[in-house]
Structure 1
């Protein structure tokens, strides 16, 4: 989180209720809510100088104010059972750890900008909801909810997720982290619905290096944690077919995102987290140009 201090969240689209496509959280300037004093600098408007403070301190100070942004930041965490898949190269790292740490960093950026931000966690067929708010206490609430998240069960039904999108009436940026092994799914339907409502949606697909190059132990048994459909074994002969099917699936996810103008970034959990975060946010900025 300490490496997010020079990162910003910038809205990519002209959304309903906004007259522009640039978002910088709470805007400094001549506003309605006092923020702080700062030393006068050449070019500042004289009407913003606090003359009473000048009389006391014998120095020029300018009153800063803030205007609330209309944009909220929403974090969406997939905490279903498949997100417990661990790295086979780095001990203690799994998809869920990577996803919630990424979203924690986005929350820290939103808090620093003065944005309202909230959280949805999909786990065990249910949705945990943290309403959007601002400030350090809200950051602590979101971090606590992220740290409690356990990878279990499947995604909530589509109607449950749809009923959880009541926040979508206001313009939002949505950051969703998942392995997206199921696509289409109730989660993908909800995210596409949000994009069709003209929200700025950004997806992070997480995979392990073993999933990418099929470097699973030969002859090992694997069971889908979200389905009771038996034990699967991978032989050397199965690897190429697995890689082709896997690549076709994630190419389909990427194609669907391009079709709906959704930012999509695919990463491996063995990559440096700060690098993935910067690439994800940079990709959104490049698309906005």
Structure 2
């Protein structure tokens, strides 16, 4: 099914398939206060507005009660896509699926959920040493703008410098939720520093690390040559003797990513691009939701 979805250029069609029956939102979405939808009564407390007192109930109960209501709690949702060259890494098992396809598709689904919840949402793309923005807004037209920007993203170059990223964090002035998807092969990096800075600014940061199955179990063809697309450091060949060392180094690196996220109270979920996309999205949102409770 994932291979079939990867062949279509219609992101909206893929979104409908992935979100069918998902049944999850991004956040609680509502808070109590002086809103428009009635929730419950509670006893009057000093400082409550008199216009919220239910005078009819006062006549019956001879006590002051105020109407507690719920109002929409909109937060800004920012989708952060790593579209650097390493995200072009393809699955060795599913034709047409690579890290960038998976990343932009899962972020497109988060955008669709945000639009359904009535939240403002925007897009940040790191590609070719630059930062590209789609400013945050609400509504169906905004969803079309974000989907168009995701669709045209290409895996180019390396990450922007730390200085460039730091200078561009102005987008998150108000409390925001940042959903960032990358392979996080570089950590620490300018990207990780920017995300940690956002977390220290009290924003809710949620990361999804994408890997291929071949990267996880080192099932690359023996003797095949590989080149780091973001570094000019020559051709590398993996022999059978290299595999165990590669697995140990890889696991140590991603354990370090997980530990850093845990230390900074950042939601972090690791997935393989061969997994069903709907399952990855569900698990990522559930993990984030569990922390929020």
- TM-score calculated relative to the size of structure 2: 0.80
2:24 maps to 1:7? yes
Partner of 2:5: none
Partner of 2:121: 117
Name the SS for the 1:264 alignment partner. strand
Name the SS for the 1:131 alignment partner. strand
2:93 maps to 1:89? yes
Partner of 1:177: 181
Contact 2:30 2:72 in 1 (8 A): no
Name the SS for the 2:195 alignment partner. helix
Contact 2:210 2:272 in 1 (8 A): yes
How many pairs align? 245
Cα drift, residue 67 of structure 1: 5.5
Partner of 1:270: 274
**Aligned to 1:30, which of 22, 36, 54?**
36
**Aligned to 1:102, which of 103, 106, 109?**
106
What is the distance in 2 between the residues matched to 1:257 and 1:28? Answer: 36
What is the distance in 1 between the residues matched to 2:182 and 2:277? Answer: 15
**Aligned to 1:196, which of 200, 216, 221?**
200
Partner of 1:250: 254
Q: Which runs of 5+ in 2 are unaligned?
A: 1-14, 38-53, 55-69
What is the distance in 1 between the residues matched to 2:198 and 2:29? Answer: 19
Partner of 1:288: 292
**Aligned to 1:165, which of 158, 166, 169?**
169
Contact 2:74 2:118 in 1 (8 A): no
Contact 1:80 1:152 in 2 (8 A): yes
Partner of 2:9: none
Name the SS for the 2:172 alignment partner. helix
Partner of 1:218: 222
Moved more, 268-277 or 278-287: 278-287
Contact 2:29 2:117 in 1 (8 A): no
Contact 2:206 2:268 in 1 (8 A): yes
Q: Give the RMSD, CA atoms, in angstroms.
A: 2.0
What is the distance in 2 between the residues matched to 1:148 and 1:137? Answer: 17
What is the distance in 1 between the residues matched to 2:210 and 2:100? Answer: 9
Runs of 4+ aligned residues of structure 1 deviating over 4 Å after TM superposition are: none
Cα drift, residue 23 of structure 1: 3.2
Contact 2:124 2:134 in 1 (8 A): yes
What is the distance in 2 between the residues matched to 1:182 and 1:231? Answer: 19
Name the SS for the 1:146 alignment partner. helix
What is the distance in 1 between the residues matched to 2:113 and 2:219? Answer: 36
What is the distance in 2 between the residues matched to 1:132 and 1:159? Answer: 23
What is the distance in 2 between the residues matched to 1:24 and 1:224? Answer: 46
